[in-house]
Chain A
Amino acid sequence: MLTTDGAQAERYLRLRRRLAGSDADDVAATLADLARKVRETDLAMIRRAGLGHIGSDFSVTDILVTLYGAVLSIDPRDPMAADRDRFILSKGHTAGALYVVLAQCGFFPESALETFAGPLSPLNGHPNRTKVPGVETNTGPLGHGFPVAVGTALAAKLSGSARRTFVVLGDGELQEGSNWEAAMTAGHHGLSALTAVVDRNMLQQGARTEETKRLEPLADKWVSFGWEVRECDGHDHRRLLAAFAPATGGRPVCVIAHTTKGKGVSFMEDRVEWHHKVPSAEQATAAFEELTR
């Protein structure tokens, strides 16, 4: 089990306090800077490991950075605190992006990222809660995180806790029927402290979602399951922040975050092959240049 990087956790908590008292422009600028660092670190990590899901990681990065930078009530020094907000990455194949974010928050030392996918590393290709603090449940096979998130939200409701639960789902993942079982349960119980975020990049591993098994009209599906739906640009931190505000209608909230797979690197953007392709040395150099531009 990895353990907290105390100094980094302190820096993270100071940043959270600063952002809590900042105006929207400052918050957005800070989150954009954090997202750039996450993508750079993730790119280097995937290059080193020779595997990863870079297109999907870059799609979800701004969602993760917004949640961890300005929304979730968490303390990396006490990752099992009973009333922490719960965050579940149902699209567990984007563990790379999550690991970088967790390290930046101080859940574990950033040096651990160097072991990603290596022999005996606690950081395998999908997150494991028994080895990585900050991970709530082990995901990887799709359609698993959402029912677990419904369970954590139900537990909060039963025990009278105001804590919130966030779960991030891939759009292709919504083809798994278990998600709709969970959506029905959450709608039935009016779990208003639950927010499901759909990383809507329109691509799955093999092709476009709408060519594979059509998801649209996606917002209508969620509404009909008893959810409040909010749609926004999934790379605009300010709009994401607004979308992550608490529910107002007594229903669970679905944020459909419109994203671009491979966001930030022109030759990866919206290209199905970058789901889990590893960049060559030349491509990595070009990608770094674009990210730091």
Chain B
Amino acid sequence: MTGTVAAAPLFDCRKAFADELIAMARADERVVVVCNDSVGSSNLVRFREEFPDRLINVGIAEQDLVGVGAGLANGGMLPFVSAAAPFLTGRALEQIKADVAYSHAHVVLCGQSPGMAYGELGPTHHSIEDLSWIRAVADLPVIVPADPAETRAALRWAAAHDGPSYLRIGRFAVPSVNPDDLVFEPGRSRQLADGDDVTVIAVGATVSRALDAAARLREEGIRLRVINMASIEPLDEEAVLRAAGETRGIVTAEEATVTGGLGAAVASLLAQRRPTPMRILGVPRTFAPTGSTEFLLGHFGLTADGIAAAARHLAGDGPR
């Protein structure tokens, strides 16, 4: 199954996030949302209208935000702590480590508008470090849904999972790449396109771009396997190792710094278990220039063309 998604309708995952939270809150009175003034940007206005007491707005105070979330979990509630990803993960990283992960609190950390979703606002508002930071924390799943269905499925899983989790909720509009009835499983990837020449492992907004790359390369006779690795931590090691064995090389693509996210996770596994040629696409160790999200994704090669070029390189050079 390989399809071109370039012309497909686009969705903002925040709407799926808000819809699913409202559905869960209707069914479970423990569900509360904790936010840091970000009611509008997290698409929580409708939740507040229906559940005014269960939207806890601690104001512009991220340390308090995460600590209060941990306390609500201790007190028997099911808190979804929602804030712009750069501030949630950067400002409150120690609270995430100590109060949530190390304390094994059932808190769902929802990083909104991640990556370079706030393109023009500049690197203070970009969240390209979150995957590296959060991956370094023990006992904390790192999940990057690729579309609305996966956003909803990941939220349902996180609500049922007796422990902490970090979900990246995308703002940049993406096409649908998963079935509506998707069931999320941690440590399980989904192969979206079959191929035995080169593998692309992608997350979030880069997944549909990888599918487009596969469609282009097919015309050149290069068969690209595309894997959606929404669960970065835990990683689907079996799928990565299988791809390393069955294809010439692996391209990873993420809207994040290449220092510690998906690419680093895959590279670490392969270096130790099955050394394989790789290309790690993402943001190099730099602060992004000014530009829209679309512009910046292109600037850093996180496009169908960029992914196709990396795959083409591996198809030609990689030892079988």
Contacts and interface: CB of A to CB of B under 8 A. Distances in A.
Interface residues of B, number: 30
A130 B59 CA distance: 30
A177 interface: yes
Nearest to A135: B103
B77 interface: yes
B40 interface: no
Contacts of B104: 129-130
A58 B243 CA distance: 60
Interface string A119-144: 00000000011100000111111011
Contacts of A147: 63-64, 66-68, 70-71, 95, 99
Contact of B105 (A137, A178, A188): A137
Given A181-B58, A185-B64, A130 B71 contact: no
Contact of A154 (B59, B66, B75): B75
Interface in B1-57: 32, 53-54, 56
A185 B72 contact: no
Contact of B72 (A129, A139, A151, A182): A151
Given A130-B103, A130-B104, A144-B98, A177 B63 contact: yes
Interface in B64-122: 64, 66-77, 79, 94-95, 98-99, 102-105
A263 B105 CA distance: 35
Given A141-B98, A177-B63, A185-B59, A150 B103 contact: no
A185 B63 CA distance: 12
Contact of B98 (A138, A146, A154, A188): A138
A116 B47 CA distance: 47
A156 B75 CA distance: 7
Contacts of B53: 158
B103 A129 contact: yes
B77 A159 contact: yes
Nearest to B105: A137
B94 A185 contact: no
B74 A148 contact: yes
A93 B68 CA distance: 21
Interface string B250-285: 000000000000000000000000000000000000
Nearest to A126: B98
B74 A152 contact: yes
B239 interface: no
27 contacts: A82-B76, A129-B103, A130-B103, A137-B71, A137-B74, A137-B99, A138-B102, A139-B98, A144-B94, A144-B98, A146-B67, A147-B68, A150-B67, A151-B67, A151-B71, A151-B73, A151-B75, A152-B74, A154-B72, A158-B32, A158-B75, A159-B77, A181-B59, A182-B64, A182-B67, A185-B58, A188-B59
Interface of B: 32, 53-54, 56, 58-59, 61, 63-64, 66-77, 79, 94-95, 98-99, 102-105
